[in-house]
């Protein structure tokens, strides 16, 4: 099911939680809505679900305008962070609940419900646990029951709100892999909300980066990480450092001095770079500062560096260095970005 969000605005007591948001989601696509708290990602998910309605704009399911249709009319599956399972029902009863409460004319026969529940239990790898209650399951198992319950009604769209947020890191990683495989098997159009960058980059076909009620960038994991389209995306996705610079005659100047990198556009702006995109140099035209801390990161180290800023607090940057690099606390380190982005003012 293709979903088209057209010029959506959502206000709460005149506060715009979403401001002129447009997005097209292809049928069968797995989309992540990624952003900090207050960015509007959960509001957008609720509008797609029909749990809230837009102040302005439209939401289409295929060619159908679903903007003001109810949750039931939209036929969406919704999975919450905290499972929302019925504690007094068994696993099988939870999964089949949505089918049992349908109006009589649209309700499957009991044998069909049992068949569907059994099929879903196998699909989510919980066969044999159908008679257990939620409090007899692990967190990861409960979340898979919640997903099976959402799938039981054969939804046109599957929506997940921070689905793994309540789980520990190891279980979260296992479930991410499992959800990707599950999505590839079922082919449902799936939209999930997360503030976990690793989760979004690993799982989604495309990532929608949101900030302050607007979409900052939409693209693949490679797009938003390697080719960020705004200062917000660069600073929000992954680790990064930022320094004010000026470009004159194609040369990047920091505090009036060349730093050994070139840029075609002229003017003042901010230089962004990631810790892994840095090389140590022994040259006068380079960035430099004092090492204030150093920590191990897998097969490398991260050096924290303070760069003097006369009359103000120093600029703080991080660079990734080889394990064998002579990085002592208080020593001076000279370096250059090998990949960078300048956002001009």
The 10s digit of each residue's pLDDT in 6-34 is 999 999 988 899 999 999 999 999 999 99
Q: Look at residues 38, 56, 34 and name the one whose alpha carbon lies nearest to residue 47.
A: 56
List Cβ neighbours of 44 (8 Å cut-off, separation of 6 or more): 5, 8, 18, 21, 33, 210
b/e burial code for range 69-93 (CB count within 10 A of at least 16 → b) = eeeeebbbbbbbbebebeeeebbbb
Q: Look at residues 295, 290, 283 and name the one whose alpha carbon lies nearest to residue 317.
A: 290
Give the sign of the dihedral formed by CA 273, CA 274, CA 276, CA 282. Answer: positive
Tens of pLDDT along 203-256?
999 999 999 999 999 999 999 999 999 999 999 999 999 999 999 999 999 999
Q: How far apart are the first and last CA of the chain?
A: 41
Rounded Cα distance between 297 and 274, Å, is: 14
pLDDT computed for residue 83 by the predictor: 63
**What is the helix, strand, coil percentage profile of the chain, to 5?**
25, 35, 35
pLDDT computed for residue 152 by the predictor: 86
Q: How confident is the model at residue 91 (pLDDT cuts 50, 70, 90)?
A: very high
Residues 90-116: what's their mean pLDDT? 87
Predicted TM-score (pTM) of the model is: 0.88
Query: Where does residue 71 fall: left (phi above 0), alpha (psi -120 to 50 degrees), or beta otherwise?
Result: alpha
Angle between helices 91-100 and 139-152 (to 10 degrees): 20
pLDDT computed for residue 10 by the predictor: 96
Would you call 158 helix, strand, or coil by DSSP? strand
- HSE-CB at 57 with a 13 A cutoff on CA atoms is 21
Rounded Cα distance between 270 and 250, Å, is: 15
Does the structure show a pLDDT above 70 at 337? Answer: yes
Residues 169-196: what's their mean pLDDT? 87
Q: Look at residues 211, 244, 245, 212 and name the one whose alpha carbon lies nearest to residue 228.
A: 211
Rounded Cα distance between 64 and 61, Å, is: 5
Q: How confident is the model at residue 139 (pLDDT cuts 50, 70, 90)?
A: confident
Does the structure show a pLDDT above 80 at 329? Answer: yes
Q: Which helix (H) or strand (E) holds 24?
A: strand 15-25
Q: Which long-range contacts (CB under 8 A, 24 or more apart) does 122-130 make?
A: 123/148, 123/151, 123/182, 123/185, 123/186, 124/148, 124/182, 125/178, 126/91, 129/91, 130/90, 130/91, 130/92
Q: Are 94 and 172 in contact (CB under 8 A)?
A: no
- DSSP, res 93: H
Q: How confident is the model at residue 143 (pLDDT cuts 50, 70, 90)?
A: confident
Instruction: Reduce the secondary structure of 101-126 to three states and give it as a string.
Output: CCCHHHCCCHHHHHHHHHHHHHHCCC
Tens of pLDDT along 270-314?
999 999 999 999 999 999 999 999 999 888 999 999 999 988 999
Q: CA torsion angle for 105, 109, 112, 114 (degrees, to 10)?
A: 120
Q: How confident is the model at residue 100 (pLDDT cuts 50, 70, 90)?
A: confident
Angle between helices 139-152 and 169-186 (to 10 degrees): 20
Q: CA torsion angle for 188, 194, 196, 201 (degrees, to 10)?
A: 30
Question: In the chain, where does DSSP find H-type helix?
Answer: 41-49, 71-74, 91-100, 110-123, 139-152, 169-186, 197-203, 221-226, 231-236
List Cβ neighbours of 49 (8 Å cut-off, separation of 6 or more): 71, 74, 76, 78, 159
């Amino acid at each position: 099911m293709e979903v088209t969000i057209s010029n959506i605005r959502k206000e709460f007591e005149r506060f715009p939680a979403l401001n002129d948001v447009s997005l097209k989601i292809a049928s069968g696509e797995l989309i992540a809505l990624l952003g900090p708290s207050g960015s509007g990602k959960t509001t957008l998910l609720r509008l797609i679900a029909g749990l809230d309605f837009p102040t302005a704009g439209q939401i289409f399911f295929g060619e159908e305008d679903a903007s003001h249709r109810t949750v039931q009319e939209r036929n969406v599956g919704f999975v919450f962070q905290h499972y929302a399972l019925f504690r007094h029902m068994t696993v099988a009863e939870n999964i089949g609940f949505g089918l049992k409460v349908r109006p009589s004319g649209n309700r499957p026969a009991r044998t069909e419900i049992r068949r569907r529940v059994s099929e879903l239990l196998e699909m989510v790898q919980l066969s044999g646990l159908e008679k257990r209650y939620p409090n007899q399951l692990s967190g990861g198992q409960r979340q898979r029951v919640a997903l099976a319950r959402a799938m039981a009604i054969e939804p046109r769209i599957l929506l997940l709100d921070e689905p793994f947020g309540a789980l520990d890191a190891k279980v979260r990683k296992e479930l991410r892999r499992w959800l990707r495989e599950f999505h590839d098997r079922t082919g449902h159009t799936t939209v999930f909300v997360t503030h976990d960058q690793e989760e979004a980059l690993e799982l989604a076909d495309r990532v929608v980066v949101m900030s302050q009620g607007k979409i900052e960038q939409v693209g693949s994991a490679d797009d938003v990480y390697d080719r960020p389209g705004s200062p917000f995306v660069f600073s929000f996705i992954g680790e990064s450092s930022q320094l004010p610079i000026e470009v004159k005659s194609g040369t990047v100047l920091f505090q009036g001095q060349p730093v050994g990198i070139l840029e075609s556009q002229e003017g003042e702006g901010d230089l962004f770079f990631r810790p892994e995109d840095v090389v140590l140099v022994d040259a006068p035209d380079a960035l430099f500062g004092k090492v204030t801390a150093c920590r191990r990161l897998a097969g490398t180290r991260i050096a924290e560096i303070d760069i003097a800023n006369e009359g103000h607090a120093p600029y703080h940057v991080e660079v990734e260095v080889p394990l064998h690099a002579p990085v002592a606390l208080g020593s001076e380190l000279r370096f250059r970005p090998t990949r960078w982005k300048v956002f001009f003012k």
